[in-house]
Structure 1
């Protein structure tokens, strides 16, 4: 079975950095961890840094081959020593790091596919990958940039052919995050068919699209919440303004009153 394609960072991690690694050896006084993101770098977790409280047997907490998220306590570049802590990593930091690493592993595969599609050797691809990490901090971030901004941003690093291949894969796999803007209407109409008139005004707002998704929810008389979801704030704000104008004008033309209050997201 061929080894997974990966691009590792040169140099040492920084003090305070959250890193991911694989336990290679477990001894009575501590565990040695190979740093997955760094080229030929290994750190050590002293038994006192494995878990909070007294640890009788380190093997109750870590095992060879286990994937661990650690905080870098100290780096001695001259001696090549990296001191790590498992207990100093919060649950949130651990989950975020594992998710980042999962995304990065996917990006390695995408880069490999892009490289193969343009006939690039693994060695050349690794060199370019290291440059992408230096500029964007991760291969996944580079793919995100290509997905959102277009292949041109990568050309100075990758060349045009590979940049286009990366952008194509990025667009297929990375969807821009959605943004939401919201507020609520206070709508009143004292006509006999007032409820129907309010519904008509709200429907007029629902029919506004322009590249965004519009939702209107009943909160409790006389309030109706409106949520506009889009890929960018500029579009969302523009559509929200159109929805508000449409609902307010329609409600007033139908003999009712309308007020809009903006909500913080």
Structure 2
């Protein structure tokens, strides 16, 4: 059974399962599990294809499974919009799905482009009522989740006005968008929110490094560790 091609059947000969000698097929493939295979021969009359597992590299497997999951996600969006219109998924494909695949190659690509430029759907020939409904559904589905990067911070100051210095330093940290929560002296929990984990971690680390330098100037010491 081919997930991307309903109605088409495929077969993998034992010699195409693995580069190793296959003593027991169950060591290499499991029932009801999805696999990425390469088409090696097509019989158009019988609507049948011969497939190979061993000719697919690990990188190709990852790329294909990722693309397949994205397309499944996009199809769910199309199906939901179809239901809202009282239509089936097949009807949705007839009215807009096949058109989107023709114009963009894949549904997911079409929806990504529509998210950046909503007007592109109508420009490509999608009926306005479908375009508006799809854009609304895409925005809900593709909404990026907020990521939180946390760290634990320890601050000490031996200066006569050490507490005041620590408060001032933490206030400057909060001005950079970092939330500060007091745990118990001398420990604090800090966190920053956003949508790009790498950029968030970089920003938090840079600010904490700066903070440690500032506390040292205030006759103190500081350290931190990111919480993974």
The question of a shared fold, defined as TM-score above 0.5 by the shorter chain, is answered with yes
Report the CA distance between 1:172 and its aligned residue: 2.2
2:74: which partner in 1? 107
Structure 2 contact 19–54 (Cα < 8 Å) conserved: yes
3-state SS in 1 of match to 2:133: helix
Structure 1 contact 115–125 (Cα < 8 Å) conserved: no
Report the Cα distance in structure 1 between the residues aligned to 2:196 and 2:120, rounded to whole angstroms: 20
Q: How does 1:1-265 map to 2 (within 5 A)?
A: 22=1, 35-38=2-5, 40-58=7-25, 61-62=28-29, 66-72=32-38, 74=40, 82-89=49-56, 94=61, 97-98=64-65, 100-118=67-85, 122-123=90-91, 125-126=93-94, 128-146=96-114, 148-149=115-116, 151-157=118-124, 158-176=126-144, 191-194=159-162, 196-209=164-177, 214=178, 229-231=193-195
- Structure 1 or 2: more strand by fraction: 1
Report the Cα distance in structure 2 between the residues aligned to 1:192 and 1:134, rounded to whole angstroms: 73
Report the CA distance between 1:152 and its aligned residue: 2.1
The gaps in structure 2 that reach 5 residues or longer are 150-154, 182-187, 221-228
2:226: which partner in 1? none
Report the Cα distance in structure 1 between the residues aligned to 2:69 and 2:91, rounded to whole angstroms: 23
User: For 1:43-99, what per-residue CA distance to the aligned partner results, in whole angstroms no more than 9, with x for missing partners?
Assistant: 432202223522235466557x73431231535688887542224556676566556
The gaps in structure 1 that reach 5 residues or longer are 1-21, 23-34, 182-186, 218-223, 258-265
- Structure 1 or 2: more helix by fraction: 2
Report the CA distance between 1:164 and its aligned residue: 1.4
Report the Cα distance in structure 2 between the residues aligned to 1:100 and 1:202, rounded to whole angstroms: 45
Report the Cα distance in structure 1 between the residues aligned to 2:15 and 2:107, rounded to whole angstroms: 34
3-state SS in 1 of match to 2:21: coil
3-state SS in 2 of match to 1:84: strand
User: For 1:98-146, what per-residue CA distance to the aligned partner results, in whole angstroms no more than 9, with x for missing partners?
Assistant: 5654453343232123134346674353352123234444323433444
- The alignment of Structure 1 onto Structure 2 pairs a total of residues equal to 212
Report the CA distance between 1:229 and its aligned residue: 4.3
